[in-house]
Every structure is written in structure tokens, then in C-alpha cells.
Structure 1
Amino acid sequence: MTDHSLYVLLRKLEDAKIPFTLARDRPDTIRVTMHLVGERTEIDVFDDGHMEVSRFCGAEDIVGDEALVDRLIQENRD
């Protein structure tokens, strides 16, 4: 079993039964997104094992519908 910080983190999340997803947006990191009530936490784990954490807290109110999705896509097109 490896001691790389990514695997240590995944074992901790699994042991705590905290849901998460993995993504690879950059060649030198794997992003682990923890899904908590009222918060999303993104943890970028780098090749060398260090981590950078971003927290997004707030209400989980419904703020729109399909029209809002369409507007957001239009406003953020490349």
C-alpha cells in the first residue's frame, strides 16, 4: 500500500464515508472534490504530494431552472 498523500486522503474519506469525486484538469494534479452539506471542498493533490485546498460554502437553495443554465453557458462561452 502506498503512502502517497493522494492515497492517504482517499482512504481517510472512504473510512469517514464522505462522498467524493476525482478529476484530472492539469497534468501535475488530481483534484479530489469532497461533497459536504452546505459546502464543496476541492483538494488539488500534486505529483510531489503537497495539497492545495479551496472551500466553497453557501446555501443550497434552488436559484433557477433550465433558463439559468442556458444563460450561464452563453455568458461563459469561449
Structure 2
Amino acid sequence: MTLNGIQDLIPFLNYLKDRKLYFQLEHSSHETFTVSIHLIGHRVEVDFYDDHVDYSIFSGDESVLDDQKTLFAMLEEQSA
């Protein structure tokens, strides 16, 4: 499968559904749709534009944390 732009969004979503992969579809910008795919140890964001597609991979160890002070400090820092 080759992705060339927004016209390939529905076929890509069907591709993910056929493989039973969990995803979310977001439209936070007037020029792009983002598909977030959640995999073990990774989150992949695929951005569909009119004429192209790009993606980012976010990796982590998925540690479970319980330090709420750190949680709220991070949230405050990002919202400032």
C-alpha cells in the first residue's frame, strides 16, 4: 500500500481495521487528519494532507507511575 494524500485515508483506516489495530482519528488542524495508532511500546501518528502523508513514531517503556506531583507539574508546565 502506498499513501499519497487524503484520498488514501479511508483505505488506510480499513487496512488498520482488517488487522484489528487500535487507532484514533483526529482533525485538529484545518489542513490535516491525524491517525494515532497505539502499538506495544510505540505510538504512531500518521498525518494525511491533500497531497502527501507523513508520520512520527513515539517510543517509550510504558512505565506506570504514581507520583502525582510530577504529573501535575508536567501538566501545568505544558499549559502555561
Work out the number of aligned pairs and report it. Answer: 75
- Pair 1:12–1:59, CA change in 2 (3 A): same
Give the distance between the partners of 1:75 and 1:64, measured in 2 at CA.
Answer: 18
* Superposed displacement of residue 10, structure 1: 0.2
2:13 match: 10
* Superposed displacement of residue 68, structure 1: 2.1
* Superposed displacement of residue 40, structure 1: 0.2
Q: TM-score, normalised by structure 2?
A: 0.82
Decide which of 57, 60, 67 is 2:59's aligned counterpart.
57
Give the distance between the partners of 1:65 and 1:9, measured in 2 at CA.
Answer: 38
Unaligned runs of 5+ in 2: 1-6
RMSD of aligned C-alpha atoms? Answer: 1.7
1:40 match: 43
Decide which of 61, 69, 72 is 1:70's aligned counterpart.
72
The code of the aligned residue for 1:19 comes to: Y
Provide the identity percentage.
Answer: 32
Structure having greater relative contact order (Cα 8 Å, sep ≥ 6): 2
